[in-house]
Structure 1
């Protein structure tokens, strides 16, 4: 299976009044063609910063300080502004966290999709209108409603419009950044099901950013787990569910209610994510880890492959396998 996106040793820092915040540090993963990758972790772990770094949307006082991001062999971090304009929408697009903020209230939803098509594809206005209608129908909205304004749609329908807009120029990779936040549970399920169906139908590669572990494990092929700016585990969904190795991954699973087993105890994770300004120069999870030993408090574990396709950054693995 061919690789669409390859992120290698990505680091993104922000200057703050209190010092340098290492929002993302030394993160590596890949996404294959037609694959849905779930990027999960608690709030403040760097998930959205990874997405913004990939899309080259980091602005001052933030900066990508190291690493590379290859999209179909092209290094996005070294692309010129004109090259990026050609790649965005056509090669890579994003479904925003809040369609309410992403859609301009003074333009019809159709005009906003049409604008993206005309800017990035060599088509005329009539062709763009017809494509917009088809896109709206693809996401379950009557194509004739392309003349409607955002305020005429419900929250769930706005999110469907945002999905249609992300697909406007037939991209190879779509990043969905917490795209169901703020929606009710039923609408969330409908939007996520829609994304999954479109991914299969169009053979899209998708990065699904979320803190909703049950949802991610239900639809993603692989899962990458972030903690305090680091990637701590990356494996197939089956491996994460049945053989998670990092203590943080296990803690996330234990903190998730299981409706099929009402007797299973839900165990919360003590403590909180450390400040990204004062990150310890050792294992970042050690203060919350029940298995931490002296080495965890003194050194930083390397991200290593413990078996084919299963990567983890934890000294416990080295101790057990070494």
Structure 2
């Protein structure tokens, strides 16, 4: 398949008064045309920082130290800023985590989508309104509701509006940044179903950022696991579920309830993600790993191939 986004050796640091936070270290992955890729990890593992780096949305004191993020032959990390601004929305867009904060409370939802279309495309206002009504309908909102204000919508409906807005300029790539966090379980399922349906209808390439492993493995073709700023495992969904290699991946799966096995006892991963201002030497997971070895405390494991399409950064495993 064609690769629509290739990220190589991304390093992002935050320069604080207390020291340098190594938020993202040597992260590489790619997104294929028409696929949904899950980016998984606990809070503080660097998932959102990866996306902010790619889209050049980092603010001081954050800085991309090195790496590449190539889309359509353009390195997003080094291209002129005016070129990046033209690519946002039209080629790559984001569904934000909190639609409540993303939507302007004093504008109708329709006007906000129309504004985005007019800003990035040469169309008439009537054409923008028609597209807005179409987008609202495909995410399950009656087109006449374009004249409603955000406060007139439920949380789930606001999130649908945010999805419609992300699709306003017909992008190739959509990044869903924890877009169901804060919603109830039923509404989460409805929003994810909308995203999955749109992916098929519009041949979208989607990066789904989440800490919800069951949801991601249910709808994504491939999964990338991040821990403490590093990519620790990269596999197809079936490879991850059937043969997880990294102890962190194994721990996440062990902590996941299984409705097909009600006798399963979920086990939490002890400890917390380390502070990246002073990360552990060697493997960053070594302070929580049940299988830690002496060399894990001294050497940094490199990403190695387990089988076709399956890679892991660990000294253990086959």
Structure 1: distance between partners of 2:231 and 2:308: 17
Distance 1:214 1:271 in 2: 22
Deviates more, 1:303-312 or 1:190-199: 303-312
Find out whether 1:150 has 2:147 as its counterpart. no
Q: How far apart are the structure 1 equivalents of 2:257 and 2:184?
A: 18
Partner of 2:174: 174
2:192 is the alignment partner of 1:192? yes
CA distance in 2, matches of 1:232, 1:177: 20
Is residue 2:211 matched to residue 1:211?
Answer: yes
Give, in whole Å, the separation in 1 of the partners of 2:296 and 2:244: 19
Shift of 1:281: 2.4
Residue 231 of structure 2 is matched in structure 1 by: 231
Following the alignment from structure 1 to structure 2, what is the Cα–Cα distance between the partners of residues 245 and 113?
44
Q: Distance in 1 between matches of 2:118 and 2:168?
A: 10
Task: Measure the CA separation in 1 of the matches of 2:85 and 2:287.
Answer: 44
Residue equivalent to 1:163 = 163
1:230 and 1:209 mapped to 2: Cα distance?
15
Q: Within 2, Cα distance between the matches of 1:213 and 1:223?
A: 9
Alignment of 1:55-66 (within 5 A): 55-66=55-66
Aligned to 1:244, what secondary structure does the other structure show?
Answer: coil
Shift of 1:242: 0.2
Match of 2:95 in 1: 95
The corresponding residue for 1:74 is 74
Task: Map 1:116-155 to 2 at 5 A.
Answer: 116-155=116-155
**Contact persistence 2:280–2:287 (CA under 8 A):** no
- Kindly provide the CA deviation profile for residues 223-269 of structure 1, in whole angstroms up to 9, marking residues without a partner as x: 00000000000000000000110010001000111121111121110
Structure 2 distance, partners of 1:304, 1:31, is 19
Q: Corresponding residue for 2:105?
A: 105
Q: In the TM superposition, what is the alpha-carbon distance from 1:58 to its structure 2 partner?
A: 0.5
- Once residues 95 and 277 of structure 2 are traced to their aligned partners in structure 1, the CA distance between those partners, rounded to angstroms, is 29
1:263 & 1:188 partners in 2: Cα distance?
26
SS, match of residue 315 in structure 1? coil
| Offset, 1:17 | 2.3
TM-score, normalization: structure 2?
0.99
Distance 1:286 1:302 in 2: 14
Structure 1 unaligned runs (5+)? none
Q: Which residue of 1 aligns with 2:39?
A: 39
Q: Please give the TM-score of this superposition, normalised by the length of structure 1.
A: 0.97
1:9 alignment counterpart: 9
Q: Measure the CA separation in 2 of the matches of 1:27 and 1:131.
A: 37
Runs of 4 or more off by more than 3 Å in structure 1?
Answer: none
Distance 1:118 1:233 in 2: 41
Distance in 1, Cα, partners of 2:108 & 2:80:
32
Gaps of 5+ in 2: none
Kindly report which structure 2 residues correspond to 1:165-314, keeping only aligned pairs within 5 A, or say none: 165-314=165-314
Aligned partners of 1:41 and 1:85: how far apart in 2?
A: 29
User: Following TM superposition, by how much is the alpha carbon of 1:280 offset from its aligned partner in structure 2, in angstroms?
Assistant: 1.7
| Offset at residue 49 of structure 1 (A) | 0.5
Deviation at 1:316, TM superposition (A): 1.2
